[in-house]
Amino acid sequence: MSTMQSPTSFGQAGDIPNGPGAAAILAAGIGCAVMGILAFAGDASDAMGKALNFYNPAGTLSGVTTLAIIIWLVAWFVLARMWATKTVAMRKVNLASFALLIVGLLLTFPPFMDLLQGK
Amino acid sequence: MEISTHDLLTVLHGMGFGALFMLAFSGALAELYRISAPGAPSQMSAREQSLLNFYLVSMVLLAWLTVFSGEYIVYPWYRAVPPAGVTDLADYPRRLLLASGKTSEWHNIGMEWKEHVAWLAPISITMVAYVTMKYGRTIFQHRNMRIAVLVFAVTAFAATGVAGAFGAFLNKYAPTRGGSVIILMKGE
């Protein structure tokens, strides 16, 4: 008896439109950007910092990460519903996602945050 | 030989979850590139597929465990506020770093960067795992999707590297201490 496993197709992208993948990619970009925007807002404004203090031992960071995760998951859910059976312009999705990712990276970098605040 | 509960949980956060997640990137990036390269075989065995799925799901779990344990277990110890009159700041890492101009930037840049950028990694790697598992080998038909997966995977790797490196340095200059003492072994 042979123990060899027969090759199987890994995923069926030919049958799946690119919409679900595009939704996940764009939502990840949104999540990263929101993380950066909220981190910057919490750093730049005392009022925002206090508003984002959901759990006192972790301070403002607790609100920043909680809201970013919620917004990321909601964006993913909404986009996945909208694009479940659609083929979208993936290049545009990539450009938007990379731009959002760069926003997230820059706004989580303290010297850039300070630069924007004129510190 | 003894260790405090704070030390133990900090090691679990950094070395148990974070370092393991970081180490897993070499295999993940190589495999993601291999399955998405245009010249690669068009089929994978069911075993290869299951192994890759398991590998990616493990990475996702490690990523989330790292950031949640960091934020909700270790970080509160790091930013603890000393009671009035306390002059020995050894048990208050954030205050200890900020007390001297020689160490304050470890907090102002190191911790401030680490605590935020680290969260880009689990978001990115969750997307990478989802897309890879959904489209699999046939992602090579979607050039732009392939590019996005690799870009986010590399970003997650870089974010983890920043967080891990600063975590190691911060724990060197201002370790989280305290908690109960666990005696691992008694000396002669």
The residue to which tokens 């990115």 are assigned? B124
Q: In which band, very low, low, confident or very high, does the pLDDT at B40 lie, cut at 50, 70 and 90?
A: low
Domain ranges of chain B: 2-81+116-183
Structural domain spans, chain A? 26-116
What residues of chain A, 65 to 104, have a C-beta less than 8 Å from chain B? 65, 68-69, 72, 90-91, 93-94, 97-98, 101, 104
Residues A27-74 have pLDDT tens digits of 999 999 999 999 999 999 999 999 999 999 999 999 999 999 999 999
Type of residue at A106? L
Residue A1: the pLDDT is: 37
CB-CB under 8 Å, B115 with A35: no
Contacts of B123 in chain A (CB under 8 A): 28, 31-32, 35, 68-69, 72
Distance CA B71, CA B116 (A): 10
Going by pLDDT thresholds of 50, 70 and 90, the confidence category of residue B177 is confident
**Phi and psi (nearest 5°) for A20?**
-60, -40
- The closest of B62, B71, B69, B72 to B125, measured between CA atoms, is B62
Q: Is pLDDT of A117 > 50?
A: yes
Is B171's pLDDT higher than 50? Answer: yes
pTM for this predicted structure: 0.92
Its sign, for the CA torsion A16, A73, B144, B140, is negative
- Three-class SS state of A64: helix
- Residues of chain A with Cβ-Cβ distance to B112 below 8 Å are 43, 110
B46 has a pLDDT exceeding 80: yes
Per-residue pLDDT at B42: 62
Residue B62, helix vs strand vs coil: helix
Structure tokens at B184: 């691992």
| pLDDT computed for residue A7 by the predictor | 40
Q: Is B37 left (phi over 0), alpha (psi -120 to 50) or beta?
A: beta
Q: Contact A65/B44, CB-based, under 8 Å? A: no
- Residue A70 gets the label, from left (phi > 0), alpha (psi -120 to 50) or beta, of alpha
pLDDT tens digits, one per residue of A100-112:
999 999 999 999 9
What integer pLDDT is reported at residue B137 of this predicted model? 78
Residue A12, pLDDT score = 47
